[in-house]
Structure 1
């Protein structure tokens, strides 16, 4: 069995980010079971993208034009093609996929973007929000109709929330992204000691300061929170990951304008996984204020919750709907709502402990990448058998 798992704009340095992580992990599981599996990358933002490998998985550059892509897949002898079909792809003409002769299955990497969230992203960052605005306004059933007309036979969604909104045009299968063995990793607390954070109470943000991640909104909300709770001496730590293309100017502009920036610690050093886990485990809560979630479900949620640490997050469709029992939901995207959530949780340790317990319960039941990979394989095998019997 030769399988091609499609994605868009996967470059070295992005392998652990969603949605790329899903197809890479699926390819790993398939290869471990004796299949031939490649990740096929259509590049939009980079004109000189090159093939590379990640943990033994080939990432092969392929055409973005659907007609050329179909011909390319046919020429390379793939038995099954798994297409990354974002909601906004429903606005495009997909008929060129009819030329593709192998079995075609689509998966939805991006999930549903709430209209309010997309509007807030546009309000703060203008045309940067174009893709999310398109996701928000595109009729959700349109992509399924277009895929069916193009000869796709199945649809995989990464959350139940997304599945329910795509209708019943195609057979749809909900297979959540898997979890790492993060709970089994030993922590390295030396980094906490080094920064005088061991035994301290602090909120934590981890990730790049990208616009969709809401780091600037968090700075503003935390400043308001501190202003109202000066007697509690609240603190927040930002672990600023150096993602490919990360932008820091806006973040530091807001930070430098804060009234209480002395309560903020920013760390940009490269951390090991055991050090990262030490921060997540020590934090009072981790704040992930995504304005829009680029792909379901950010792995950071899983990592944090598997440590028994609650997450503060804006309401964000499939991700927060699935994990809501272990989250402090700040409601719709706004500085005021986030300020309120930070204050309520800081002043209610009982609520924090309940959320922490629920987070552990959710992650104990959640499937591993290996289990998820076998679910994708079962779908392929079952449907191929039905086709050729």
Structure 2
């Protein structure tokens, strides 16, 4: 689960008068503490040794913490944390990422840098049945995942169904934005009222940017009016020069409109509101249900994503899913949405329906709390 999910759950706890804090794990000991709105954040040393575990125990006692939500690492579940329950603490596990398949990971590995893909390889190479066995050896604790897909996989490998909870990230309450869009207005003339596919996020291989550009090249040949807009988020330390060179060499570069800096909420709102559909062709999805996909459903726009997995199953109701790392299949899906008006309208209606039924952050936080309260 991304930082955002943890923050929102903690924020809702605070607003419901539960004293809450985010403990941010660090490799080295630091003593920083700050606040984001209502939420306190405190740095702690990751408990990778007995001495670090003792320091964590001291922090938990100092903060008077009763419930600890702890992220699981597929490489090694930190069951030694359960020693802390002797003080009355209750531990609830959560999985930040997802259940990844062998084929998906090794296919993605051919397109990504080894350092980026290693955590996923470590998961699929290990015995996940043994992982579950080790995790439950000291007793069963509540476990939170994002989708039924990951929950079912864990249950198939031995985790008790009653203790495994599928809770997706939440949706925002609708905000009325007063500020005018700046970037969108600058691009309005370039777009010339033509339909465009929208990508937003950092320009990274894991997000399928290369496959998306290759697919658009095919689509552009068959549809003279279609455009591609890329809102490339400028995350710290990210070098976009490779992607700029790639786009510059493309025959259809004049129909690809890129913003290389992060845009504000008002601009994202306008780009989403006016796009034809959104592209999310992940090679691997770090967070099983990206918040961007939920945001897209709010606008009644179809998503073309990758699957099958938890992400694919979520997207499938209001979009199209294609195999990972397949520019050909991605192009076919884009062309299908462009040519089949009935299908497009159906997916737009489905997106609004999915969003209306999706839980708010308040509801998600209540489900996290309820999962812990079910612990026996």
TM-score range with shorter-chain normalisation? 0.7 to 0.9
Q: Is contact 1:97-1:151 (8 Å) kept?
A: no
Cα distance, 1:301 vs. partner? 0.2
Counterpart CA distance in 1 for 2:229 and 2:178 is 21
Tell me the TM-score normalized by structure 1: 0.85
Partner residue in 2 for 1:117: 104
Match of 1:312? 304
The partner residue of 1:215 within 209, 219, 234 is: 209
Match of 2:254, SS state, is helix
The equivalent position to 1:378 in structure 2, one of 365, 370, 375, is 370
Cα deviation for residue 112 of structure 1 reads 1.5
Gap change, CA 1:252 and 1:26, over 3 Å in 2: same
Q: CA deviation at 1:72?
A: 2.8
| 2:118 equivalent in structure 1 | 130
1:169 aligns with 2:159: yes
Give the number of equivalent residue pairs: 361
Gaps in structure 1 of 5+ consecutive residues: 1-17
Q: Which residue of structure 1 aligns with residue 238 of structure 2?
A: 246
Match of 1:201 in 2: 195
Partner of 1:4: none
Q: Measure, in 1, the Cα distance between the counterparts of 2:175 and 2:340.
A: 26
Instruction: Tell me by how many angstroms 1:367 deviates.
Output: 0.3
Write out aligned runs for 1:1-389 (5 A).
18-44=1-27, 50-66=32-48, 67-76=50-59, 77=61, 78-86=65-73, 88-89=74-75, 92=76, 94-101=78-85, 102-127=89-114, 128-150=116-138, 153-167=141-155, 168-170=158-160, 171-182=163-174, 188=180, 191-195=183-187, 196=189, 197=191, 199-227=193-221, 229-230=222-223, 232-383=224-375, 386=376
Q: Quote the offset at 1:84 in angstroms.
A: 0.7
Hey, what does 1:10 align to over in structure 2? none
TM-score by length of 2: 0.88
Over 3 Å counting, the alpha-carbon distance change for 1:35 and 1:260 in structure 2 is: same
Moved over 6 A (4+): 46-49
What is the alpha-carbon distance in structure 1 between the residues aligned to residue 335 and residue 11 of structure 2? 43
Give how far 1:23 is off.
1.0
The DSSP-based 3-state class of the residue aligned with 2:283 is: coil
Q: 1:253 to 1:83 in 2, by over 3 A?
A: same
How big is the alpha-carbon RMSD for the aligned residues of Structure 1 and Structure 2?
2.4
Q: 1:237 is paired with a residue of what secondary structure?
A: strand
Q: Distance in 2 between matches of 1:219 and 1:26?
A: 36
Which residue number in structure 2 is paired with residue 8 of structure 1? Answer: none
Shift in alpha-carbon separation, 1:192–1:249, aligned structure 2, 3 A? closer
The 2-side partners of 1:186 and 1:281 are apart by: 15
